[in-house]
């Protein structure tokens, strides 16, 4: 018997066009379903509907029926479905309730009325399964984005749900942590719906694939058949085809020498780091969560002074932070982008077109989906064409087609004589050099050149 049945589901948020149109499907126990589709296609809304958050929490027009483990989501509140269903949302920063990691994971278990003696062992098991036991007593505000995402995932795993809904769960995880998480998910034995833009990883785990576009399910097929369909219809989902470029040797635009930084005494995030960025090149910063990628990126952009060492910036720098919510200052997308070019709407419009958001020029930035906000933020920073463009996890929320477009655009940008520094876990982005930062050996700053 199916664990989930969705029958003729259509949904529109208040005063918005339909987000889901006539979706019908059934999920069997133990199935792992990869939910794919472009940004803004309705993936998140479908996950919300499966958790009962649509329509209870968001309001809007709901038609059809969703039944999870025999419970009709129209009649049961999401809190009553919790435990049977666990959801990990896109943005880990917005999900954390408690101040200490262990308490955060225990929070859901307490809500479900789990036997008190069983709570701490379950918290421990969940953290252990993600190799995150060291985070047990840490304060949640002190964690990096990736560490926080692991905590949110552990919170969901601890509930031992029958249906696990994951909305871009590995977007901020380093490859090792992502693999570990997906293994833990596999071992859980639950029905899993995984919305993920890192398609290769999702397809590796999935037994079945759903492809959503424009609120409709275009494909619902077993993995092998789905890969065939994707190869024919959406080739970039199965083959990101990163194009090649030649390593340039332009003038230096930023030089960091012996840079050191510590958030807490005796715990340096960066220790004597050297980095040189040249015009025409794309440099990717990689490394596990908490290894100091963001800190180094902010120092390179001139936003943070290093506690030791020097930074020579020979030109103007622009910085795109990990959180696209920080780029929502104005009342329309066009005004948002125009902010950096003294209100020049022509340049702003061109920048919006370049990221595929020309249609959203008059929309309020907060009405955009997470992937669209990411692109808006990129346009807002890049519109001024800084000599050094620093991007922190720019592929978060981007579908494979947008990601390839971003890669192509970065290469064009670099070829126009600018330098690009990208802090990313995503190896699909092109780079002339990839630099790895280590957590434990902060002095060991390994650098190697690789072909794109």
- Which parts of this chain interact with other proteins (CB under 8 A)? 51, 53, 56-57, 77-80, 82-83, 85-87, 89, 91, 93-100, 103, 106-117, 119-120, 123, 141, 155, 159, 298, 301, 303, 316-321, 323, 325-329, 339-340, 366, 377, 380-381, 384, 386, 390
CB of 78 or CB of 175, closer to other proteins: 78
Structure-block tokens of residue 161: 């749900």
Question: To the nearest whole angstrom, how small is the minimum distance from the Cβ of residue 112 to other proteins?
Answer: 5
* Helix ranges (DSSP H) in 189-318: 199-205, 223-233, 235-238, 293-300
ω into 101 cis (within 30 of 0): no
Question: To the nearest whole angstrom, how small is the minimum distance from the Cβ of residue 302 to other proteins?
Answer: 9
CB of 2 or CB of 82, closer to other proteins: 82
Which residues, including other chains, have CB under 8 Å from residue 325's CB and lie 6 or more apart? 91, 373
| Rounded Cα–Cα distance for residues 405 and 384 (Å) | 19
Question: To the nearest whole angstrom, how small is the minimum distance from the Cβ of residue 114 to other proteins?
Answer: 6
Structure-block tokens of residue 52: 């009962």
CB 56 within 8 A of CB 85: no
CB of 89 or CB of 261, closer to other proteins: 89
Angstrom CA distances, 346 to 270, 310, 341, 342, 379, stand at 41, 38, 10, 11, 13
CB 407 within 8 A of CB 242: yes
Structure-block tokens of residue 76: 């049961």
CB of 54 or CB of 230, closer to other proteins: 54
Q: Which residue has the tokens 């692109």?
A: 375
Question: To the nearest whole angstrom, how small is the minimum distance from the Cβ of residue 72 to other proteins?
Answer: 17
Question: To the nearest whole angstrom, how small is the minimum distance from the Cβ of residue 414 to other proteins?
Answer: 19
Q: Which residue has the tokens 């340039």?
A: 248
Question: To the nearest whole angstrom, how small is the minimum distance from the Cβ of residue 108 to other proteins?
Answer: 4
CB of 184 or CB of 378, closer to other proteins: 378
| Rounded Cα–Cα distance for residues 418 and 413 (Å) | 6
CB of 97 or CB of 450, closer to other proteins: 97
159 by DSSP, 3-state: which? coil
Structure-block tokens of residue 286: 């990689």
CB of 77 or CB of 134, closer to other proteins: 77
- DSSP secondary structure letter of residue 242: P
Question: To the nearest whole angstrom, how small is the minimum distance from the Cβ of residue 77 to other proteins?
Answer: 7
Question: To the nearest whole angstrom, how small is the minimum distance from the Cβ of residue 98 to other proteins?
Answer: 5
Structure-block tokens of residue 327: 């780029």
CB 151 within 8 A of CB 177: no
CB of 75 or CB of 366, closer to other proteins: 366
CB of 263 or CB of 446, closer to other proteins: 263
Question: To the nearest whole angstrom, how small is the minimum distance from the Cβ of residue 97 to other proteins?
Answer: 6
Phi and psi of 8, rounded to 5°?
Answer: 55, 40
Phi and psi of 176, rounded to 5°?
Answer: -65, -45
Which residues, including other chains, have CB under 8 Å from residue 409's CB and lie 6 or more apart? 354
Phi and psi of 259, rounded to 5°?
Answer: -75, 130
- DSSP secondary structure letter of residue 368: S
CB of 86 or CB of 357, closer to other proteins: 86
Question: To the nearest whole angstrom, how small is the minimum distance from the Cβ of residue 208 to other proteins?
Answer: 23
């Amino acid at each position: 018997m199916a664990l989930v049945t969705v029958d003729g589901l259509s949904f529109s948020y208040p005063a918005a066009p339909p987000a889901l149109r006539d979706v019908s499907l059934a999920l069997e126990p133990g199935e792992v379903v990869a939910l794919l589709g472009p940004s803004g296609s309705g993936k998140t809304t479908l996950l919300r509907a499966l958790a009962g958050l649509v329509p209870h929490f968001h309001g809007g027009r709901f038609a059809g029926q969703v039944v999870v483990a025999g419970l009709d989501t129209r009649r049961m509140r999401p809190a009553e479905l919790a435990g049977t269903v666990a959801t990990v949302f896109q943005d880990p920063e917005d999900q954390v309730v408690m101040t200490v990691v262990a308490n955060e994971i225990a929070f859901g278990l307490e809500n479900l009325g789990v036997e008190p003696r069983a709570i701490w062992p379950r918290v421990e098991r969940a953290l252990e399964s993600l190799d995150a036991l060291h985070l047990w007593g840490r304060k949640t505000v002190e964690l990096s984005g990736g560490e926080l995402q692991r905590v949110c995932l552990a919170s969901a795993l601890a509930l031992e749900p029958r249906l696990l809904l994951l909305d871009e769960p590995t977007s901020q995880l380093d490859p090792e942590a992502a693999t570990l998480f997906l293994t833990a998910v596999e071992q859980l034995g639950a029905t899993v719906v995984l919305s993920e833009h890192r398609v290769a990883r999702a397809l590796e785990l999935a037994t079945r694939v759903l492809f959503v576009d424009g609120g409709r399910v275009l494909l619902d097929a077993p993995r092998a058949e789905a890969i065939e369909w994707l190869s024919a219809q959406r080739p970039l989902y199965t083959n990101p085809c990163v194009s090649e470029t030649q390593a340039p040797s332009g003038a230096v635009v930023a030089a960091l020498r012996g840079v050191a930084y510590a958030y807490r005494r005796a715990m340096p995030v960066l220790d004597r780091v050297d980095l040189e960025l040249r015009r025409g090149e794309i440099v990717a910063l990689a490394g596990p969560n908490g290894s100091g990628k963001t800190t180094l990126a902010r120092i390179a952009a001139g936003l943070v002074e290093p506690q030791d060492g020097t930074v020579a910036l020979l030109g103007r720098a622009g910085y795109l932070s990990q959180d696209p919510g920080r780029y929502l200052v104005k009342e329309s997308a066009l005004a948002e982008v125009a902010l950096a070019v003294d209100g020049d709407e022509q340049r702003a419009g061109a920048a919006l077109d370049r990221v595929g958001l020309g249609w959203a020029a008059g929309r309020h930035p907060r009405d955009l989906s997470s992937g669209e906000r990411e692109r808006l933020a990129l346009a807002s920073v890049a519109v001024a064409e800084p000599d050094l463009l620093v991007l922190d996890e720019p592929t978060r929320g981007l579908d494979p087609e947008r990601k390839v477009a971003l890669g192509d655009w970065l290469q064009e940008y670099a070829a126009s004589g600018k330098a690009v520094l990208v802090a990313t876990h995503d190896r699909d982005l092109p780079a002339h050099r990839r630099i790895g930062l280590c957590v434990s050996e902060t002095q060991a700053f390994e650098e190697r050149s690789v072909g794109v």
